[in-house]
Chain A
Amino acid sequence: MSQKKKSGTSLLYQLIGEARGYDDAIIMGRGDPDFDTPPHIVAAAKEAMIHHHNDYSPPQGLLPLRQAIAERVKRVNNIDVDPESEVVVTNGGQEALFLMVLAVTSPGDEMIVPEPNYNTYADSLAFAGGVKVEVQTYAETDFRADPGVVRQLITDKTRSLLLVSPNNPAASVISPSDMREMLDIAIERDLMILADDIYDLFVYDDFQHVSPASLPGGKERALTLNALSKSYSMTGWRLGWIVGPADLMARVAELKAAISGGTSVISQYAGIAALTGPQDAVEMMAEAYRKRRRMVLDALDEMGMQYGMPQGGQFVFADIGFTGLDSAEVAQRMLTEQHVLAYPGSAFSKDRKDYLRMTFLQPEDQLLEGLERMKVVMDNIMAEKK
């Protein structure tokens, strides 16, 4: 298969594999925070290895962890859930996403999905035999998904509406009024809502995150996922969750049992420590991302790149259409010429060949170095164009 024909996950694999070959590579693509997991969480895991390594965990997770999750979603998201019946622990946000899609989708069902989006939604939907119906969003309107457009796309086959806020890769946050309108549409047209809140702690400036399940009429038709990966720098622990109404969550629990049976108890005890222990590290990391985001935006301005203002999340989705090149080609040149890995937009959507996704999950010195190197490539491209 030629390089240009690759897309989606396979394109990312190829670029990641190549980046590994460079000792001085700066990875500005993958959503893996540079911070290690806070020490008190690692200490709790070590304690669990000694005292709890043989513990039985039901597929939906240890009750103390589900209780901690219920407290967290009440405190942060204003969602009331019963830890006994309305929480399922998962192998990271990724398994939560897969389960959520499977829980509401039968072959032929349509799901309305704002684009661009994390490619695993399309992959999961394809596994379930569902059909993705795209709501296009654009940099010039900061990647806002227009509820009016959503309304127009609903057919008698539409079963669900995906709401990712903050969005990956576009970094847009659904405003409270838009969220209310999206929920009203879901109620009127009897759709299920899949809410991905994984970046809910990373919202910038005056933007506000709202969980649809927190709004009147929302909880009974919404499944909401989250994970500890991004907020606690715990990507390697594979710990996430879904919350939702008990009847649907019973289905989610059966799917979880069928797919993986359970979740490592060591990770679960680490998760309890994360959610119930000191939160200073989360605040420190959020502050660091705020500062780095500004650095990235300043550098992109200098390079002349357009972008939708990142209202939340850990990414910037920048328009490189002015180069006249496909983003896969630009990403390849950045990697080959300067050993910087940014993800091409075509990895997220076939219609986003003009975009690059960059994370700000690197230490500041590396981030600055990476941006400098990117500028060299962009200058070269523009010089060639002349």
Chain B
Amino acid sequence: MASNTKSAILAQHRANDDLNTPLLSQVARADSDLAADGMRSPLAERIIAAASAALEDGQTHYVDVPGIGPLRAAVADYLKVSSGANYRQGNIVITAGLQESRFLSIQMIGEQYDSIALPAVVHPGVRKALGVRSRNPRTMPVDPARGYLPSIDAIAETASDGCRLFYLESPSRLSGAAFTAGEVAAISQILADKDAALIWDQGLAPWVDGAYASPAALDSDCARVAAIGEAYSGMGLASWFVGYIAAPEAWVPALQSQKQIMAICTSTASQYAALEADQLYSEARTRQLSLLGGLRADLLSAASQAGLRVVKGGAVNLIALQLSADNMNRLRRVGIDFAAGRLFGAPDLVRLNVNHSTAAALAALS
């Protein structure tokens, strides 16, 4: 017998465009897959050994909701060293990956505010997280000349209109463009002037070659900025789903409580693997930055020769191009998977991950 109740649930579901936003895969499926959020990376034997040892030692049970203490401390230390943020262990919640970080921060920090301001171009996971329970999103225009980041004026205007919670990506998940130190200082000033708060997706920060500016570093008493990201990207852990939220202490109880409701804790094997990755990260990241930086420089040169328009960006792990529909189809025809800009809100862009297969994609366009 047909169920009207079920039909009503399904109709509501079909009408929820945000929830039905396609999500990009967490790791590339093949070398020709240049669309994924995470890169395929080798996994160090030491990480395998550490995770295995933890499991053999009986670390197969529930652990603390916000994560194992040593990993929370390691993430706090990493954020201090890499961006000057003042977070401590008590500020950190370990999550089951970046999307859980997005969902928890948007939903639980969002509960404290009337609305949340988003850039018009943002990772589709943000809209998807809002599709579960809307938090009254407001859209800020972006500046194509600044890699599709919102301008400081747009942020200030939104704050002046009364919106007191912002969600920003730096680097942008589409273009790789990051806010400069001057822009970050201006954003921090807006937050202070308007008593506003910020969810700051800095997951791509490890791929910025050079100084990285974080508003968390200017938030001296850790009161306004929650930083989120995937833990130790590039270390072969993309499919292990480990992320973090570094949040003001006043926000942690709500995040922790909702994490308990949603999942109790994050996989112990993933956490012990991430803990070991922390030990190796500095050296491994330096190596990868150099490798990816070299590859990207070659790609920029090839793109220039092919007359392709590259979007201004700073992260070395991706390249964003402005392409015609014909050129997008050419990529599809040669079997190159790319992240479509329309998923982010910029239909004429594509995002390609930087690896040894990216040159083939550009060759198909030349």
**Chain B contacts for A278, CB-based, 8 A:** none
Name the CB-closest residue of B to A188. Answer: B1
B13 interfacial by beta-carbon distance below 8 Å? yes
CB-CB contacts below 8 Å: A103-136 with B: 103-104, 106, 120, 123-124, 127-129
**Chain A contacts for B40, CB-based, 8 A:** 54
**By the criterion CB–CB under 8 Å, are A57 and B239 in contact?**
yes
**By the criterion CB–CB under 8 Å, are B60 and A238 in contact?**
no
Stretch at the interface among B82-90, B177-185, B254-262: B254-262
Name the CB-closest residue of A to B95. Answer: A260
**Interface size in chain B (residues, C-beta < 8 A):** 65
Stretch at the interface among A75-83, A87-95, A203-211, A375-383: A87-95
Stretch at the interface among B72-80, B126-134, B299-307: B126-134
CB-CB contacts below 8 Å: B88-132 with A: 96-100, 103, 125, 128-129, 131-132
**Chain B contacts for A37, CB-based, 8 A:** 55, 60
**By the criterion CB–CB under 8 Å, are A247 and B6 in contact?**
yes
A265 interfacial by beta-carbon distance below 8 Å? yes
**Chain B contacts for A94, CB-based, 8 A:** 260-264
A127 to B43, CA, bound (A): 38
**Chain A contacts for B100, CB-based, 8 A:** 259-261
**Least distance between A133 CB and chain B CB atoms (Å):** 15
**By the criterion CB–CB under 8 Å, are A260 and B103 in contact?**
yes
**By the criterion CB–CB under 8 Å, are B99 and A261 in contact?**
yes
Name the CB-closest residue of B to A220. Answer: B3
**By the criterion CB–CB under 8 Å, are B125 and A261 in contact?**
yes
A333 interfacial by beta-carbon distance below 8 Å? no
**By the criterion CB–CB under 8 Å, are A56 and B261 in contact?**
no
**Which of B55, B61, B103, B241 meets A258, CB within 8 Å?**
B103
**By the criterion CB–CB under 8 Å, are A255 and B270 in contact?**
no
A-B contact pairs, 16 of them (CB 8 A): A50-B48, A52-B239, A54-B27, A55-B27, A56-B27, A92-B264, A127-B258, A217-B1, A237-B269, A251-B9, A257-B99, A258-B103, A260-B96, A262-B99, A262-B239, A266-B269
CB-CB contacts below 8 Å: B131-182 with A: 131-133
**By the criterion CB–CB under 8 Å, are A235 and B60 in contact?**
yes
Per-position binary interface string of chain A over residues 328-372, scored 1 when its CB falls under 8 Å from any chain B CB and 0 otherwise: 000000000000000000000000000000000000000000000
A49 interfacial by beta-carbon distance below 8 Å? yes
Per-position binary interface string of chain A over residues 201-236, scored 1 when its CB falls under 8 Å from any chain B CB and 0 otherwise: 000000000000000010011000000000001111
**Chain A contacts for B238, CB-based, 8 A:** 54
**Chain B contacts for A261, CB-based, 8 A:** 23, 26, 97-100, 125, 241
**Which of A10, A33, A237 meets B268, CB within 8 Å?**
A237
**Chain B contacts for A129, CB-based, 8 A:** 133
| Contacts A159-B5, A238-B96, A261-B23 supplied; 7 other A-B pairs, CB < 8 Å | A50-B48, A57-B239, A120-B261, A234-B60, A258-B132, A262-B26, A264-B267
**Which of A32, A54, A120, A236 meets B59, CB within 8 Å?**
A236
**Chain B contacts for A33, CB-based, 8 A:** 61
**Which of B62, B131, B261, B273 meets A236, CB within 8 Å?**
B62
**Chain A contacts for B240, CB-based, 8 A:** 53, 264-266
**Least distance between B106 CB and chain A CB atoms (Å):** 10
A10 to B65, CA, bound (A): 13
A298 interfacial by beta-carbon distance below 8 Å? no
CB-CB contacts below 8 Å: B212-268 with A: 236-241, 257-258, 260-268
Known: A42-B55, A258-B19. A236 touches B6 (CB 8 A): no
**By the criterion CB–CB under 8 Å, are A36 and B99 in contact?**
no
Per-position binary interface string of chain B over residues 35-67, scored 1 when its CB falls under 8 Å from any chain A CB and 0 otherwise: 010001101000110011001101111110000
Known: A36-B60, A257-B128, A266-B270. A123 touches B3 (CB 8 A): no
Name the CB-closest residue of A to B47. Answer: A49
B29 interfacial by beta-carbon distance below 8 Å? yes
**Chain A contacts for B273, CB-based, 8 A:** 49, 266
**By the criterion CB–CB under 8 Å, are A91 and B263 in contact?**
yes
**Chain B contacts for A42, CB-based, 8 A:** 52, 55-56, 60
A104 to B263, CA, bound (A): 19
A354 to B62, CA, bound (A): 28
A58 to B29, CA, bound (A): 10
Most A CB atoms within 10 A — which of B28, B98, B131, B264?
B264
Name the CB-closest residue of A to B100. Answer: A260
A319 to B97, CA, bound (A): 42
A251 to B8, CA, bound (A): 12
**Chain B contacts for A30, CB-based, 8 A:** 62
Name the CB-closest residue of A to B257. Answer: A9
A123 to B266, CA, bound (A): 19
**Least distance between B263 CB and chain A CB atoms (Å):** 4
**Least distance between A41 CB and chain B CB atoms (Å):** 9
**By the criterion CB–CB under 8 Å, are A267 and B263 in contact?**
no
**Least distance between B167 CB and chain A CB atoms (Å):** 15
Name the CB-closest residue of A to B37. Answer: A261
A106 to B26, CA, bound (A): 29
> Which 8 residue pairs of A and B lie closest in terms of their CB atoms, listed nearest first?
A261-B99, A236-B268, A37-B60, A265-B239, A258-B128, A260-B100, A91-B263, A56-B29
**Which of A46, A236, A264 meets B63, CB within 8 Å?**
A236
**Chain B contacts for A98, CB-based, 8 A:** 261-263
A261 to B240, CA, bound (A): 11
**Chain B contacts for A159, CB-based, 8 A:** 5, 9
**Which of A128, A191, A260 meets B99, CB within 8 Å?**
A260
A265 to B28, CA, bound (A): 14
A59 to B241, CA, bound (A): 11
**Least distance between B56 CB and chain A CB atoms (Å):** 6
A198 interfacial by beta-carbon distance below 8 Å? no
**By the criterion CB–CB under 8 Å, are B27 and A9 in contact?**
no
**Which of B13, B23, B26, B103 meets A56, CB within 8 Å?**
B26
Known: A127-B261, A260-B99, A264-B241. A192 touches B9 (CB 8 A): yes
**Least distance between B289 CB and chain A CB atoms (Å):** 20
A327 interfacial by beta-carbon distance below 8 Å? no
A257 to B241, CA, bound (A): 13
A301 interfacial by beta-carbon distance below 8 Å? no
A127 to B104, CA, bound (A): 12
Name the CB-closest residue of A to B132. Answer: A258
**Chain A contacts for B270, CB-based, 8 A:** 264, 266-267
CB-CB contacts below 8 Å: A235-285 with B: 235-238, 245, 247-248, 250-251, 254-255, 257-267
A182 interfacial by beta-carbon distance below 8 Å? no
**By the criterion CB–CB under 8 Å, are A103 and B23 in contact?**
no
A190 interfacial by beta-carbon distance below 8 Å? yes
**Least distance between A58 CB and chain B CB atoms (Å):** 8
